């Protein structure tokens, strides 16, 4: 089954899944629902499900997106993780995953740790049981956003690959240094032939998460620019008012003001003011007409800017004489 395909795809992910005997029909229905969910994500071009053949024992799912960033946004999404959690009982062991692209480098919007393990054939059952306990422990830590385990691909990759994702570097560090994890590593002593790397872009985007903490594809460049403007104007003026009694020279005032505005925008203005205010414009629901969403968003932007302009006019010209 294939849905929504258009020409010109630049990023494809191929996922192989072994299905428990007797669960094939339920698995296919479940996977088709996942594909419908994927179609609501930015850049979706198509999804395909292929049943096992004489030479391929796995069910194969193929997703096509218009960019690596968009395919990664879907693969790492909270939506997909929820579906995976619901359908694990259809699957027999870990999946495989390959990404094929001619585009740019992947851009994860979470802090992701990639761990590869070399496991001897006689240790595979014990390794899988150990990974289950590791996954159960990770779920209890704040900021956990999902995990996946991929088995080796013959002739391509000899290692088992585990991915686990957290919402920021601080929460990831808490897990990595926790007593719980150290105990689990000690219990899995024979699986310690591994390597890991961390992919961290969690501080690189003010629009990486929705209001529920799930990572999402970023809005368009135009929406992003306007949203930053909505937050930047009150932030800069409020900081200028706060610093004005210090009477610093222009070069020093701008130096300190820019530093403070960067921190304020990242940790206060964007997450607690702009993103909640403009959430339905930045990430409109799939069933909402684009025209009405944009008109409502423009009205909110105009209202917010007008409100701050009036406030600052009164503060600086009526109540407190400033330029």
What is the model's pLDDT at position 308? Answer: 94
Which among 220, 11, 172, 202 is positioned nearest to 108, based on CA atoms? 202
Which among 179, 105, 182, 174 is positioned nearest to 144, based on CA atoms? 174
Chain centre distance of CA 37: 15
What is the model's pLDDT at position 54? Answer: 60
How far is it, in rounded angstroms, from Cα 246 to Cα 190?
62
Residues 64-81: tens digit of each pLDDT: 888 878 888 888 888 998
E strands, 5-95, in order: 11-17, 44-50, 59-65
CATH class entry, domain 1-104: alpha beta
What is the model's pLDDT at position 233? Answer: 93
Chain centre distance of CA 80: 11
What is the model's pLDDT at position 46? Answer: 86
The proportion of the chain whose per-residue pLDDT surpasses 70, expressed as a percent, equals: 77
Which among 69, 25, 105 is positioned nearest to 219, based on CA atoms? 69
How far, in Å, are 90, 94, 236 from residue 58 at the CA level? 13, 11, 56
Phi, psi of 208 (to 5 degrees): -75, -25
CATH 3.30.70.100-classified regions of the chain: 1-104, 110-200
E strands, 93-248, in order: 96-101, 111-117, 144-150, 160-166, 194-200
- Which pTM does this prediction carry? 0.40
- CB-neighbour burial class of residue 8 (10 A; exposed 0-12, middle 13-18, buried 19+): exposed
What is the model's pLDDT at position 217? Answer: 54
What is the model's pLDDT at position 146? Answer: 81
How far is it, in rounded angstroms, from Cα 264 to Cα 297?
23
Chain centre distance of CA 319: 45
Chain centre distance of CA 141: 18
Instruction: Return the CATH fold of 110-200.
Output: Alpha-Beta Plaits (3.30.70)
What is the model's pLDDT at position 10? Answer: 63
How far is it, in rounded angstroms, from Cα 217 to Cα 145?
15
Q: Which helix (H) or strand (E) holds 2?
A: strand 2-3
- CB-neighbour burial class of residue 38 (10 A; exposed 0-12, middle 13-18, buried 19+): buried
What is the model's pLDDT at position 213? Answer: 44
What is the model's pLDDT at position 262? Answer: 82
Dihedral sign, Cα of residue 264, residue 266, residue 267, residue 270: positive
What is the model's pLDDT at position 161? Answer: 78
Angle, CA 137 vertex, CA 194 and CA 92 arms, to 5°: 70
What is the model's pLDDT at position 110? Answer: 63
How far, in Å, are 235, 252, 279, 304 from residue 207 at the CA level? 18, 30, 10, 19
Residues 293-320: tens digit of each pLDDT: 889 999 999 999 999 999 998 988 877 7
What is the model's pLDDT at position 218? Answer: 59
- All residue ranges of the chain with pLDDT < 70 are 1-10, 53-56, 98-110, 112, 114, 153-157, 191-219, 221, 285-287, 321-323
């Amino acid at each position: 089954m294939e849905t929504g395909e258009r020409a010109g795809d630049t990023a494809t992910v191929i996922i192989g899944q072994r299905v428990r005997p007797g669960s094939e029909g339920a698995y296919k229905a479940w996977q088709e629902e996942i594909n419908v969910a994927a179609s609501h994500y930015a850049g979706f071009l198509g999804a395909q499900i292929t049943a096992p053949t004489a030479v391929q024992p796995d069910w194969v799912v193929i997703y096509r997106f218009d960019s690596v960033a968009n395919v990664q946004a879907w693969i790492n999404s909270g939506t997909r993780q929820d579906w995976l959690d619901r359908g694990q009982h259809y699957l027999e062991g870990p999946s495989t995953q390959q990404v094929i692209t001619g585009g740019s480098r992947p851009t994860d919007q979470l802090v992701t740790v990639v761990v590869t393990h070399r496991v001897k054939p006689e240790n595979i059952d014990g390794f899988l049981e150990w990974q289950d306990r590791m996954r159960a422990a990770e779920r209890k830590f704040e900021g956990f956003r999902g995990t996946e385990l991929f088995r080796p691909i013959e002739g391509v990759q000899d290692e088992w690959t585990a991915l686990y994702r957290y919402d920021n570097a601080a929460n990831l560090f808490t897990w990595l240094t926790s007593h719980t994890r150290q105990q689990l590593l000690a219990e899995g002593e024979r699986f310690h032939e591994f390597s890991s790397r961390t992919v961290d872009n969690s501080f690189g985007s003010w629009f990486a998460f929705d209001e529920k903490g799930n990572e999402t594809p970023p809005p368009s460049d135009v929406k992003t620019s306007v949203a930053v403007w909505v937050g930047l104007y009150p932030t800069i003026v409020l900081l200028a008012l706060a610093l004005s009694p210090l009477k610093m020279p222009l070069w020093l005032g701008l130096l300190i003001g820019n530093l403070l505005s960067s921190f304020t925008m990242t940790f206060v203005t964007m997450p607690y003011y702009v993103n909640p205010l403009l959430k339905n414009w930045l990430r409109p629901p799939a069933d909402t007409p684009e025209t009405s969403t944009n008109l409502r968003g423009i009205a909110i932007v105009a209202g917010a800017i007008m409100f701050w302009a009036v406030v600052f006019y009164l503060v600086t010209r009526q109540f407190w004489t400033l330029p």
